[in-house]
Copies of this chain bind each other. A is one copy, B any other.
Amino acid sequence: MDIEQYMQTVGSDARAASRLIARADSHAKNTALCRIATAIRRESDTLLAANHDDLAAARAAGLEPALLDRLALSAKSVAAMAEGVEQVAALPDPVGEISDLKFRPSGIQVGRMRVPLGVIGIIYEARPNVTADAAALCLKSGNASILRGGSEAIRCNRAIATLVQEGLASAGLPANAVQVIETTDRAAVGHLIRMREFVDVIVPRGGKGLIARLLAESRVPMIQHLDGNCHVYLDDDADPEKALQIVENAKTQRYGTCNTAESLLLARSVVARLLPPVAAMLTQKGVEIRGCPETVDRIREARAASEEDYASEFLAPIISVKVVAGLDEAIAHINRYGSHHTDAIITENYTSAMRFLREVDSASVMVNASTRFADGFEYGLGAEIGISTDKIHARGPVGLEGLTSQKWIVLGNGEVRA
């Protein structure tokens, strides 16, 4: 297979399909989505069989247990996949939404219309459920998509793609509006991220190393999702009960998610009162504490934190803990060591809360709430394609709106410029 030629064909087909899907009405898109969901349910056994073959090959190739876990489907997760597609069908269609139409002194009326981005390339791990999710979100937002999942999931991804393309065609939409890359050759990714003429944006998901590499090589704009080194800061005026509950939830509810807290900061004035109970809770839950000298002095179980610990996304039962002078140092620390993902302050003080909201340069900034809330569903987006740590376009959870942009529209009555 000539990979370059193949990818050019995929890209050119996607571009052509993008014109048609961009102007498809909501009814046609929703019909396609509902039929895709029905087909996923009906063909559950087919998908499980393909997944079974993927798993066998991945096991033989010695894939790590955690990755096998993410690759594995069950009857229940296939049903959830279908339900996810139906949930996207039920969301309002963002395309064509017109806002802010205002008359100008010249007589023209100027406003904005929400439109698809065009062709979206999505690069992700070996997780078949992402294939259905991503296809549904791109379709609903009027974009053509090119999906490149981890090669271990190729059989199952192909099977899902077949169902998606049948659903599109049955609703009178172009089957090429969703394409799964048919080859596991890594060169395909290299082409995908360089086809500016065919691809409008790349959404990369997966490990930090992979994304950094894609970012360095890409010629197409990216909505990137790097790491989540999230902080909880216990301010001078932190409510002790909220502090304890939020740190517990933010750190220990799930260890492997990007919105899990990886670092705890405490204002010096609350250390004596709050550090012992918080540390006891963490230790009791089996969380390893890596702390600054003051933390280590007070907490027997704590070991000394390195500079690198403060910059780390552990994705594990480990937390870095640092005592700071107060709000200024907390904000400076977060902006320096954090990953601009999600950070929370626990405080009853109005001015501290407002300053934290304004000055912490992260995609999600929270007052008295758990960082675990940084999520498309929790924010009311209905679904998400990822969580952006970029600063332009979309920050934080990216839903349908993040897969669109706004163009200007001008309604005139023969006006000319003076």
Contacts and interface: CB of A to CB of B under 8 A. Distances in A.
Interface of A: 19, 22-23, 96, 102, 104, 106, 108, 110, 113, 115, 117-118, 200-201, 215-216, 219, 221, 223, 239, 241-242, 245-246, 248-250, 253, 335, 344, 355, 357-359, 361-370, 372-374, 378-380, 390-393, 395-397, 405-417
A216 B113 CA distance: 29
A412 to B, nearest CB: 3
Contacts of A413: 242, 368-369
User: Interface on chain A toward B: helix, strand, loop, or mixed SS?
Assistant: mixed
Given A22-B359, A358-B96, A365 B416 contact: no
B416 A23 contact: no
Given A113-B358, A200-B392, A393-B405, A378 B246 contact: no
Contact of A414 (B115, B245, B357, B416): B245
A108 B249 CA distance: 15
A253 B407 contact: no
B242 A19 contact: no
A266 B197 CA distance: 28
Contacts of A409: 357, 364-367
Contact of A391 (B253, B361, B405): B405
Contacts of A391: 117-118, 200-201, 405
